[in-house]
């Protein structure tokens, strides 16, 4: 089975590689737009399916397409990727001292069959100081990350006080669930 990762995310590439899979990357220029009335917990699923829909017509028999999207949700509101330094600081300030959810949804296509699943992880940050937030944003530039942070980076090491669920899900790919689903296809 040839695996195609429909993502430009360096974190997803690294996680899939660490899982022991060989794969190629194909990305589509899909605008990540969804209906504002979509419930926050469904946004990642909608976007993962959108990405898969854009690529599935290029698939050949025996190719497995894996597309994924990750969202950070605070108080039922999706916190997207920051567009500026100020927006990243504001987002991290909002997350400071609070619990939020990270949902990653996967949409796979294999021989015309669509397989969808998602995972949710609860994260709690300690109260972050303005100095810590400024240091992180200045040094790690989290502009390609939902919620303005990467758990595997400095802010995750010093700021995450509690995690319930999958760590790799927060990085952008629920590897344990993905592995299970790939094994089902191979069976």
Residues labelled catalytic = 69
CA–CA dist 97, 105 (Å, integer): 26
The SS3 of residue 129 is: coil
CA–CA dist 164, 100 (Å, integer): 11
Instruction: Specify whether the CB–CB gap between 111 and 154 falls below 8 A.
Output: no
CA–CA dist 170, 186 (Å, integer): 26
Bridging pattern class, strands 113-125 and 99-110: antiparallel
């Amino acid at each position: 089975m040839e695996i195609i990762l429909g993502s430009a995310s360096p974190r997803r590439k690294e996680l899939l590689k660490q899982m022991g899979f060989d794969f190629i990357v194909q990305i589509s220029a899909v605008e990540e737009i969804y209906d504002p009335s979509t419930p926050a917990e469904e946004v990642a699923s909608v976007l993962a399916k959108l990405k898969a829909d854009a690529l599935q017509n290029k698939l050949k028999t025996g190719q497995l397409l894996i597309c994924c999207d990750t969202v950070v949700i605070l108080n039922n509101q999706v916190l997207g990727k920051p567009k500026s330094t100020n927006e990243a600081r504001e987002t991290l300030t909002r997350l400071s001292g609070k619990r939020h959810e990270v949902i990653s949804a996967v949409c796979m296509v294999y021989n015309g069959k669509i397989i969808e699943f998602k995972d949710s992880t609860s994260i709690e940050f300690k109260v972050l100081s303005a100095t810590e937030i400024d240091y992180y944003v200045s040094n790690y530039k989290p502009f390609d990350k939902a919620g303005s942070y990467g758990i595997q980076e400095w802010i995750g090491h010093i700021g995450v006080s509690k995690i319930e669920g999958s760590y790799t899900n927060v990085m952008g790919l629920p590897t344990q669930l993905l592995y299970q689903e790939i094994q089902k296809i191979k069976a």
